[in-house]
Amino acid sequence: MKKDQFTVVTDGGITTPKGFRAGGLHCGLKKTERNDLGVIVADEPAAAAAVYTLNAFQAAPLKVTKESIGAGGRLQAMLVNSGNANACTGQQGEEDARRMRAEMARVLGIDEHLVGVTSTGVIGELLPMEKVEAGIALLPEKLSAAGSDDFCQAILTTDLVRKMVCVSVTVGGETVHIAGAAKGSGMIHPNMATMLGFLTTDAELDAEQLQALLGEVTDTTFNMITVDGDTSTNDMVVAMASGRAGGGKLTPQHPHWEAYKAGFRYVSEYLAKAIARDGEGATKLIEVQVAGAESLEAARAIAKTVIGSSLVKSACFGADANWGRIIAAVGRAGQQVNTETVDIRLGDISVLEQSRPVRFDEERAEEYLKGELVQIFVNLHMGEQQATAWGCDLTYDYVRINAAYRT
């Protein structure tokens, strides 16, 4: 990913790509007055793609969105509520998700299969549909090209900050935008998480190519983060491409494909890291880079195991340079390792070389671990493959937040 292939649009949002509007409002699902219902709307049906949680218990809205995208690979509206996950709610939950889709389609004057639905919040509670439908009826008047912030607020649960990013790429002489918004701070674990992600672009791609790109990029971004080892029931990332910018249809054969792909990956990685950084109770972002693996699968598995270790996360919170927890995580990742060749660094501080301890300045290491970004480097010296995973520290506040999540 070369940053000279794209430009970060500092004031951009999910409505910066041509052909999109968004909005949000408070309909009463949350106890606070924060927005809890939002929608992204394309001017015309857009090519659409999505990836979903691997949890066996998939929430009703995911089933409805799969139906919508499966009907033709296009969406014109993506409706989302926070405060209630509509998960494990049986037949009534599925009927409510379809009612949300039908009502959104009605007020926009579009076909039902052009609407996707997703929800986030407490599991196992039925949606108060009178409030939801009253809110949907008001959403069209909230739609605007300046509605990114209102939408981003509508998707938050325990998040402390909104997560939004936008880049521009030159494609065929035209300026193409890729933007994204996401929520997530707890119940985050590789292979999706309690996270929702929304990507918009005005590039021209068909649904199949967009799906392939989203799947590939998700494997190295959203699927490489963890907060607490839990994978939720509602996780989804959906991408919509309006094709309004011009520059020609994008395929891997297009001369500007690699630049576009780099921008798409940057947006996804930015959001993934923002979710990890905003982990419930977190004080720092942790990045684990594994190099020298025999296979990509091994590199990813080891990186995920280290970043997901409660002991490693706790040590980072306490600024304790206990590299023994890191090497133990490497060894239990279920991958072949040469126990005589592993190197470990904390930032630029070497603590293990060829699987042997290295004398290091404990005070300097402690000071480094107190920072907002902690990078852990593991080199296996077995091959050429590498992978990176992101997470956060495990703090007292994580327990406090989740001990009273419903109350």
**Which residues form the catalytic set?**
194
Q: Is 161 exposed, middle or buried (0-12, 13-18, 19+ CB in 10 A)?
A: exposed
In 3D, which of 241, 151, 163, 194 has the Cα closest to residue 62?
194
Start-end of H helices in 159-286:
207-220, 257-277
Whole-number Å distance between alpha carbons of 294 and 274? 30
Report how far apart, in Å, the C-alpha atoms of 157 and of each of 36, 126, 278, 376 are.
9, 17, 12, 29
Tokens representing 69 are 């995208």
What is the SS3 assignment for 155? coil
Residue 148's φ and ψ, nearest 5 degrees, are -60, -45
CB 275 within 8 A of CB 189: no
Alpha carbon of residue 62 to chain centroid:
16
